[in-house]
């Protein structure tokens, strides 16, 4: 699958790490596996909580919220942004970039040349070993939404899963109303 594709978990996935989640694929390489970031899970932390910043809590980047990118390596920090001028950033489509030189991104934020609304930070990531995601796709655990990286900055994280399913329409729109616990329906 191409970077920039969204993976939408089906409502009955049964994996608490990905229940009602949307994952943005950042890399999918047959030899090394797949890397993505969950877009729909905000933590209660900010960048200032996990990183010493220039100007401390007064830094323009201090209040950036952190999202849970996935269950793998939760002590790592990853970023999505809209800055094509950040060296070594990987384009994902729709004007969205993954990673790059984080110090440059911080400097742009500190100088007011970048705005917080164009940056999304994640702790941890979602990863699949070689062939693992293909197996999950065959089991219909995920639905794809190609070339949709720009949705990162346009949809509210807590409503992301439901909004994408509604946008897809048809049976997926019906899935968006599936109860969290159907036994309580």
Q: Is 108 exposed, middle or buried (0-12, 13-18, 19+ CB in 10 A)?
A: buried
Nearest one of 10, 16, 39 to 172, comparing CA atoms: 10
Task: Answer with the residue of higher pLDDT: 173 or 58.
Answer: 173
Domain ranges across the chain: 6-184
* pLDDT digits 0-9 by tens, 147-180: 888 889 988 888 899 999 998 888 888 888 876 6
Average pLDDT on 57-75 reads 92
Question: According to the CATH classification, is domain 6-184 in 3.40.1740.10?
Answer: yes
**Is residue 180 within 8 Å of 20, Cβ to Cβ?**
yes
Mean pLDDT of the chain: 90
Task: Answer with the residue of higher pLDDT: 146 or 8.
Answer: 8
Q: Please tell me the predicted confidence (pLDDT) of residue 50.
A: 92
pLDDT band, residue 46 (cuts 50/70/90): very high
* pLDDT digits 0-9 by tens, 15-42: 888 888 999 999 999 788 999 999 999 9
């Amino acid at each position: 699958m191409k970077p920039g594709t969204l993976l939408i978990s089906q409502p009955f996935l049964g994996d608490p790490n990905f229940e009602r989640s949307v994952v943005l694929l950042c890399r999918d390489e047959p030899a090394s596996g797949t890397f993505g970031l969950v877009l729909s899970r905000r933590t209660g932390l900010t960048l200032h909580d996990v990183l010493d910043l220039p100007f401390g809590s007064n830094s323009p980047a201090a209040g950036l919220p952190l999202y849970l990118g996935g269950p793998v390596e939760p002590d790592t920090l990853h970023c999505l942004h809209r800055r094509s001028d950040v060296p070594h950033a990987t384009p994902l489509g729709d004007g969205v970039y993954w990673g790059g030189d984080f110090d440059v991104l911080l400097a742009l934020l500190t100088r007011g040349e970048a705005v917080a609304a164009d940056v999304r930070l994640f702790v941890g990531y979602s990863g699949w070993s070689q062939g693992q995601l293909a197996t999950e796709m065959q089991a219909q655990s995920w639905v794809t939404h190609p070339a949709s990286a720009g949705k990162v900055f346009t949809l509210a994280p807590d409503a992301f899963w439901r909004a994408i399913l509604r946008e897809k329409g048809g049976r997926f729109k019906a899935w968006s109303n599936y109860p969290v616990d159907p036994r309580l329906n």
